[in-house]
Structure 1
Amino acid sequence: MHFQPIERPAGAFQQPVTADQIRAVCRRVFGPDAGVSSAVEMGLGMYNTTYRVTVEGRSRPMIVRFAPEPDRQFVSERELMRNEYATVPHLAKIAPLMPRVISADWSHELVGRDYLVQTLLDGVPAAEGLRTHPRRARTGFFRQIGEIARTVHEVRGARFGPVAGPAYTTWSQAVIGSLQDIAADLDGLGLDSAGLRKAAALAAEHHAVLDEITEPRLLSGDLWTVNIMIAEDAPEPIISGVFDLDRTLWGDPAADWPIRLAASKQDERVAFWEAYGERDLSPAAVWRSLIYEIRHLGAVRLERHRLGDPGGVGDSYDAVETVLAELA
């Protein structure tokens, strides 16, 4: 078996598994005689540990993804892989773009971590493939993201919050709960959570504005270039797959990650809105968007800390204070 892990510092967040553990997973999924010819760790993603695995007798490689150990997961990022798995039935409208789940195992008997075995998507990562296209050709790519985001947001749910739970009866409860969870994670790391707690207090004080959102819609949570594949050698960037939608939740579509990123720059990404539709810029919607921005910035602060980026952590403090000043 050719086994190729990525060399990382001992204290890195993403931890490898062993060749024997990958063999054991494949035997569990494909039978006791399944042989593994190669397992190559992929550099995509900054949370799960992902391998491209070739099993003898199967025509295509597959993807095996291992979640972090439970005690390494933040409260606000609890069991993201299980959340992704629970979301699959709700993403039927974009099923042709999604990897198919071959097997899921939450037992921790083989590895001590959740893992998913999935089909390998065709194409090349968009973050890499877009560099081969001129900027003027990328408008169609962002238009496609807008179409996908609109399709996902059309899916209706019964409760607010992460797809796998916890569930909330109102949107304000879900938003406040998320802000408090992120603040608790920051406290546990010795980082300042005051801005997140102030935002949670403002959300509670003005909960009626948040509760104008009465119909839970599905949010992708993390749909953008890093989680998209595009067709290889195509004359224009054509989206061939989307993956790692593990931060899905039921809520206000305006709180979704692609909405934030599409609005962040006035460049070729404005084509997103051509397919998605116009933004709500009413005073109430703008106020809600500021609360959402602090939630995003809190999550970014956690990620920057996890990646060992103190400068990024520091920048997030100033960014939160700027948004809080607009809320005042």
Structure 2
Amino acid sequence: MERAPADAQRALTAEQIAAMCRRAFGESAVVASARELGGGTFNTTYLVSLAPAMALVEERRVVLRVAPPDSAAVSWDEAALMRRELHIQPHFAALSTLAPRTLAADFTRQLLDRDYVFQTLLPGERWDDVADALSPEESLSLWEQFGRITRTIHGTAGSAFGGPFPVPEFRAWSEAVLYRLGCSLRTMAGASLDVSEMAAAIEIIRGGAAVLDELREPRLLHGDLWLFNLLIERGAEGPRIVGVIDADRAFWGDPMADWTMFVLSKSASPENRPLYDRFWEAYGRPPQTRAGAFRAAAYEAMNVGIALPWAARHGHGDLVERGKRELREALEALRRLRP
């Protein structure tokens, strides 16, 4: 696959893939084929077919995900993503039938200078790839399922905010938020972006730490849950979500800080309002309070702080301008709602 210079992905050789399969599945494992899969922006992913063995009548198909090398330019929120995902994966047990299972993981760097995992291949197709082909009724059904799945994820409680290892964990939610904001500010500065508005937002959020700390119980957040990370199957009884993938950005915090909630707020329009209403009906609408509005503005700054340097690094000028505008809006809201 063709790649831009800033891409973190790196292709493998056939010999490397064969060696990785032998380590994971035994010296007798034979690779029938390996096809690189598109759609992602970070890990290099292959669909691997293992040749039939005596114990297998048919080819066994598995997914190989390979992290970028340490030499790749990644930001603070992308460091050790695969290790973070493996650490937090057991906490997604409530979605065990929808999440891929890890078959093997190798972080030794003995075969190549990158982390990698083999996972089960889930059925279905990416929702965003077929969204335009769905009827209004089918879309409404999927958005309702989306709301229930998000509620299920957020229903899992943890013991500390932030994380997972090796990202630091904190006893107070405000400490986790300020840590993430501080990392984003430094990353923005490294990308030659103006950080004055982010710095101003951080000072207001620090002054309103008590409002953030009204959240006492850490909840599981997916960190990147949207249509491109949901797999669906279409059948006679209608479409259903059959897979939830790429939870490597998961962490512990306020459910309203999850990336899903940020995208819902920033992409709302009259056209998709019925779909979003169906999501919120299934998830449960949060109460509208001044404290909640302050926290929402803080989370907007936190999420924009991650998206802005990513867009700058990948040359997406339109997204950079949008991010600057949204950060300015978040700062204005924080000033208005300052405790």
TM-score by length of 1: 0.93
Structure 1: how far apart are the matches of 2:207 and 2:260? 27
Counterpart pick for 2:7 among 12, 35, 51: 12
The one-letter amino acid of 1:248's match is A
- Are 2:8 and 2:74, in contact at CA under 8 Å, matched by a contact in 1? no
Matches within 5 A, 1:39-78: 39-57=34-52, 59-71=59-71, 72-78=73-79
Q: Which residue is equivalent to 2:100?
A: 99
Counterpart pick for 1:243 among 245, 248, 255: 245
Structure 2: how far apart are the matches of 1:247 and 1:11? 20
Deviations 1:241-260 (A, max 9, x none): 01001111111111011222
- Are 1:124 and 1:230, in contact at CA under 8 Å, matched by a contact in 2? yes
Counterpart pick for 2:293 among 286, 302, 309: 286
After superposition, the Cα gap between the structure-2 partners of 1:109 and 1:128, relative to the gap in structure 1 and judged at 3 Å, is same
1:230 and 2:232 correspond = yes
After superposition, the Cα gap between the structure-2 partners of 1:262 and 1:268, relative to the gap in structure 1 and judged at 3 Å, is same
- Are 2:51 and 2:60, in contact at CA under 8 Å, matched by a contact in 1? no
The one-letter amino acid of 1:41's match is E
- Are 2:6 and 2:314, in contact at CA under 8 Å, matched by a contact in 1? no
- Are 2:35 and 2:46, in contact at CA under 8 Å, matched by a contact in 1? yes
The one-letter amino acid of 1:67's match is A
The one-letter amino acid of 2:46's match is Y
The one-letter amino acid of 1:122's match is P
The one-letter amino acid of 1:236's match is G
1:112 and 2:107 correspond = no
Deviation for aligned residue 1:39: 1.1
Deviation for aligned residue 1:236: 2.5
Q: Which residue is equivalent to 2:316?
A: 309
- Count of aligned pairs: 323
Deviations 1:131-155 (A, max 9, x none): 2212342111111111111111111
1:326 and 2:329 correspond = no
Secondary structure of 1:238's counterpart equals strand
Q: Which residue is equivalent to 1:89?
A: 90
After superposition, the Cα gap between the structure-2 partners of 1:110 and 1:192, relative to the gap in structure 1 and judged at 3 Å, is farther
Report the RMSD for the aligned CA atoms in angstroms.
1.6
Deviation for aligned residue 1:277: 0.5
Deviation for aligned residue 1:77: 2.1
Identity %: 37
After superposition, the Cα gap between the structure-2 partners of 1:198 and 1:109, relative to the gap in structure 1 and judged at 3 Å, is farther
Extract unaligned runs of 5+ from structure 1.
1-5
After superposition, the Cα gap between the structure-2 partners of 1:11 and 1:320, relative to the gap in structure 1 and judged at 3 Å, is closer
- Are 1:162 and 1:247, in contact at CA under 8 Å, matched by a contact in 2? no
Select between 178-187 and 54-63 the one with higher mean Cα deviation. 54-63
Structure 1: how far apart are the matches of 2:175 and 2:68? 28
Select between 73-82 and 206-215 the one with higher mean Cα deviation. 73-82
After superposition, the Cα gap between the structure-2 partners of 1:152 and 1:310, relative to the gap in structure 1 and judged at 3 Å, is same
- Are 1:160 and 1:168, in contact at CA under 8 Å, matched by a contact in 2? yes
Structure 1: how far apart are the matches of 2:16 and 2:313? 25
- Are 1:136 and 1:268, in contact at CA under 8 Å, matched by a contact in 2? no
Extract unaligned runs of 5+ from structure 2.
none
Q: Which residue is equivalent to 1:131?
A: 132
The one-letter amino acid of 1:80's match is L
Structure 1: how far apart are the matches of 2:236 and 2:175? 45
Q: Which residue is equivalent to 1:30?
A: 25
- Are 2:229 and 2:246, in contact at CA under 8 Å, matched by a contact in 1? yes
Counterpart pick for 2:198 among 191, 196, 199: 196
The one-letter amino acid of 1:270's match is D
Structure 2: how far apart are the matches of 1:305 and 1:22? 33
Secondary structure of 2:238's counterpart equals coil
The one-letter amino acid of 1:198's match is A
Structure 2: how far apart are the matches of 1:181 and 1:27? 39
Deviation for aligned residue 1:11: 4.6
Deviations 1:139-185 (A, max 9, x none): 11111111111111111111100222310110000000001111112
Deviation for aligned residue 1:274: 1.1
Deviation for aligned residue 1:83: 1.2
